[in-house]
Amino acid sequence: MRVVPGATVSIDHVASYYAASRHPSPAHPPLAGDIDCDVCVVGAGIAGCSTALHLAERGYRVVVLEGARVGWGASGRSGAQALFGVAAGEEKTEALIGAVAARQVWDITVEGLDLMRDLIARHAIDCDYVPGQMHVAVKPRQVEELRAWVGRINDRFGYASLRFVPRDELRATIASERYLAGTYDARSGHLHPLNYTLGLAAAASRAGARIFEGSRALSFDGGDTVRVRTARGSVRCRHLALCGNAWLGEAAPPLARRIMPVGTYIVATEPLGEARARALIANDAAVTDINWVLDYFRRSRDHRMLFGGRVSYSGLDPFNTAHATRERMLRVFPQLRDARIEFSWGGYVDITLNREPDFGRLAPNVFYVQGFSGHGIVLTGIAGKLLAEAIAGTAGRFDVFSRIPHRGFPGGRLLRRPALVLAMAYYRLKDLL
């Protein structure tokens, strides 16, 4: 392999609050030439960095190919709420794969919360982790939905950390008239996603993994030895782990049909001061409503309001995103009308048709994980651990997820997105009822 002396990557992170407040981290050179390894990981988000870390700790020679920068995609831009479960919900998972397997999926997601905290502690990752997460009801019918959900989670899974929050307590916690009741989970939480991802990458590098930025995987050839091609080189490996999610592009066309990149947008206010920020969310929890087109928000370490919402199923960046997202924020916190917006950015969430995570194989030695559908902070980390287990020969837990059935989005290459836009119009109407 040839590494160009002093080579840098021209692509930088999007102009977000996370990028502006990220910790210094080394730039990794682009791949130039050919290299051999045991496992090639495509994508240096949380899933890819977790996979690389767990494999390197097992003694595997690992190469990570990243098309842009570590954490450039969803892992470094997201709402950063660390949640248990999967987006589809435990009842849907049970209907798809049965009660026993669905319980295994649930247990693994809860283990993912523990793994995240363990990785932060063990590798001294400074990523502003704060425990506590809330779901909140906007409509009266949602109050009963949340109350019933808490009962199911407590009774079926023995998950005592989740509790129902009545209206009076909620009003004392969140300074908004919009919400009628909520839930609180002390084991979930929120963090700085880009610093978390950069910390995982640093840990993987220390363990021996080699990371190449500006090295998009363009294609691969299968067989006992897999060859992954980039614009300036290639990687020969015994195992391939595809962790690029919505950014894989044409490197793996069969996977692209099974997810839909959906745009979501976030704004960050100017620093509000500790007292004013604390008055907005007294317990410093991350918060999300349970509408289909939802809002999510939290405080930052330096006392800003980070507020996200608005989704684009059309694949187009709607006009004046910052203004529109700010207006959504003011529906929740009208007292922030005088607060200046300092950052506005967006990115893709990789959703599946059934909102279940999509794990599997394209060949016996080609693995993939994708379709986290908004639950990526926790699921991506534990997915990396499961991938490492499967590559090392213990695939039982990975295969529980691979049993979840998936179909491609209808409509083919040209009509699949318009079909989704029409379907989402129905769910937007449901939010209004």
Q: What pLDDT does 309 receive? A: 85
Cα separation of 298 and 300, whole Å?
A: 7
Q: What is the mean pLDDT of residues 5-21?
A: 77
Cβ proximity of 110 and 184 under 8 Å? no
Cα separation of 39 and 32, whole Å?
A: 18
Q: What is the mean pLDDT of residues 154-167?
A: 96
**Bridge partners for 31 per DSSP:** none
Cα separation of 134 and 145, whole Å?
A: 14
Which three-class secondary structure state does DSSP give residue 148? helix
**Bridge partners for 286 per DSSP:** 133
Burial (CB count <10 Å: 0-12, 13-18, 19+), residue 59: exposed
Contacts of 156-159 with C-beta under 8 Å, sequence gap 24+, read 156/90, 157/90, 157/103, 157/106, 159/84, 159/110
Cα separation of 430 and 424, whole Å?
A: 10
Q: What percent of the residues of the chain are helix, what percent strand, and what percent coil, each to the nearest 5?
A: 40, 25, 35
pLDDT at 313 over 80: no
Cα separation of 38 and 61, whole Å?
A: 5
Joined tokens for residue 222: 């299968």
Cβ proximity of 82 and 379 under 8 Å? no
pLDDT in tens, 179-209: 999 999 999 999 999 999 999 999 999 999 9
pLDDT at 175 over 70: yes
Cα separation of 284 and 133, whole Å?
A: 9
Q: What pLDDT does 319 receive? A: 53
Single-letter amino acid, residue 109: T
Burial (CB count <10 Å: 0-12, 13-18, 19+), residue 96: middle
Single-letter amino acid, residue 181: A
Where does the pLDDT of residue 311 fall: very low under 50, low under 70, confident under 90, or very high at 90 and above? low
pLDDT at 334 over 60: yes
Q: Where are the domains of the chain?
A: 17-77+194-258+354-405, 130-188+260-351
Specify the CATH architecture of the domain 17-77+194-258+354-405: 3-Layer(bba) Sandwich (3.50)
Q: For residue 57, give Cα distances in angstroms to 49, 64, 125.
A: 12, 15, 17
Name the residue with higher pLDDT: 204 or 318. 204
- Reported as half-sphere exposure (CB side, CA atoms, 13 A), residue 351 has a value of 22
Cβ proximity of 204 and 62 under 8 Å? yes
Cα separation of 271 and 265, whole Å?
A: 19
CB within 8 Å of 60: residues ≥ 6 apart: 38, 39, 391, 392
Where does the pLDDT of residue 411 fall: very low under 50, low under 70, confident under 90, or very high at 90 and above? low
Mean of the per-residue pLDDT values for the chain? 91
Q: What pLDDT does 405 receive? A: 96
Q: What pLDDT does 208 receive? A: 98
Angle, alpha carbons 135-140-146 (nearest 5°): 35
Burial (CB count <10 Å: 0-12, 13-18, 19+), residue 210: buried
Q: What pLDDT does 349 receive? A: 82
Paired sense of beta strands 181-190 and 81-82, if any? antiparallel
> Going by CATH, does the domain composed of 130-188+260-351 fall within 3.60.21.10?
no
Q: For residue 419, give Cα distances in angstroms to 356, 410, 431.
A: 19, 7, 19
Where does the pLDDT of residue 427 fall: very low under 50, low under 70, confident under 90, or very high at 90 and above? very low
pLDDT in tens, 91-150: 999 999 999 999 999 999 999 999 999 999 999 999 999 999 999 999 999 999 999 999
Q: What pLDDT does 322 receive? A: 83
pLDDT at 339 over 70: yes
Single-letter amino acid, residue 398: F
Joined tokens for residue 7: 């080579």
pLDDT in tens, 25-82: 999 999 999 999 999 999 999 999 999 999 999 999 999 999 999 999 999 999 999 9
Name the residue with higher pLDDT: 97 or 9. 97
Name the residue with higher pLDDT: 189 or 260. 189
Q: What pLDDT does 292 receive? A: 78
Identify the weakest region by mean pLDDT among 222-236, 324-338, 339-353: 339-353
**Backbone phi, psi, residue 341, to 5°:** -85, 120
Cα separation of 124 and 121, whole Å?
A: 5
Cβ proximity of 41 and 220 under 8 Å? no
Name the residue with higher pLDDT: 235 or 426. 235
Cα separation of 52 and 381, whole Å?
A: 11
Which three-class secondary structure state does DSSP give residue 175? coil
